[in-house]
């Protein structure tokens, strides 16, 4: 299985530290570091995914849908919470061109809290999905996740399910969409990045 380079670097550093402790002090002192090194390799796993065909929006992250907002005055929103056991590689929910990418400093509240959506540190992508359609999604830092890495930049074109970033440890993703999207996800649903359909694009006469 593919492993993100960050995980390999952490594992190598921890293993080296463990070897030093075991060699110079006590053979057993390195064991906890070896265990953490193995956890890092597992945590930073990056499995291959195949996205479904069709005019659909897929989950940008593994995790659990903790909130769905359907409002006429505000963009619809689907929020996904990632715990420490989820894959933390983020993927593009739809195909399109990145027209904006911004980083916002903020707090590090527990990512499952509603306040985290507005107050926490985050990186926000704005995608032009074609045909006048747009999608905005934010990779939100959490209490433990203190760093978000983005793989793309403004002007880049992405396809549905393509890797676009990495969230280190527990975090949250908020996906905002226009009225041309019909939400298919449900609160409490477990989703898989790049695979689970969370919304479908509808033509004008089908909009509710």
CA 23 to chain centre: 39
Annotated catalytic sites, by residue?
Answer: 171
**Euclidean distance between CA atoms 55 and 49, whole angstroms:** 18
Is the distance from CB of 152 to CB of 164 less than 8 angstroms?
A: yes
Beta bridge partners of 31: none
DSSP notation for 16-53: HHHHHHHHHT-TTTTHHHHHHHHHHHHHTB-----PPP
Beta bridge partners of 208: none
**CA distances in angstroms from 44 to 9, 11, 73, 79, 106, listed in the order given:** 11, 10, 39, 22, 25
CA 107 to chain centre: 18
Rg (CA), the chain: 19
């Amino acid at each position: 299985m593919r492993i993100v380079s960050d995980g390999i670097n952490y594992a190598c550093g921890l293993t080296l530290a463990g070897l030093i402790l075991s060699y110079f002090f006590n053979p057993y002192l390195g064991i906890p570091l070896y265990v953490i090194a193995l956890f890092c390799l597992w945590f930073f796993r990056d499995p291959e995914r195949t996205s479904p065909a069709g005019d659909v929006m897929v989950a940008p992250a593994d995790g659990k849908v903790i909130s769905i907002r359907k409002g006429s005055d505000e963009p619809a929103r689907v929020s996904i919470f990632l715990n420490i056991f989820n894959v933390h590689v983020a993927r593009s929910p739809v195909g399109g061109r990145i027209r904006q990418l911004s980083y916002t400093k903020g707090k590090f509240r527990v990512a499952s809290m509603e306040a985290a959506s507005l107050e926490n540190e985050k990186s926000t992508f704005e995608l032009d999905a074609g045909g006048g359609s747009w999608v905005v999604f934010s990779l939100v830092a959490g209490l433990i996740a203190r760093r978000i890495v983005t793989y793309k930049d403004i002007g880049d074109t992405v396809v549905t399910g393509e890797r676009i970033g990495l969230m280190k440890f527990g975090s949250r993703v908020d996906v905002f969409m226009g009225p041309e999207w019909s939400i298919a996800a449900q609160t409490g649903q477990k989703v898989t990045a790049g695979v689970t359909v969370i919304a479908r694009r509808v033509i004008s006469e089908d909009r509710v």
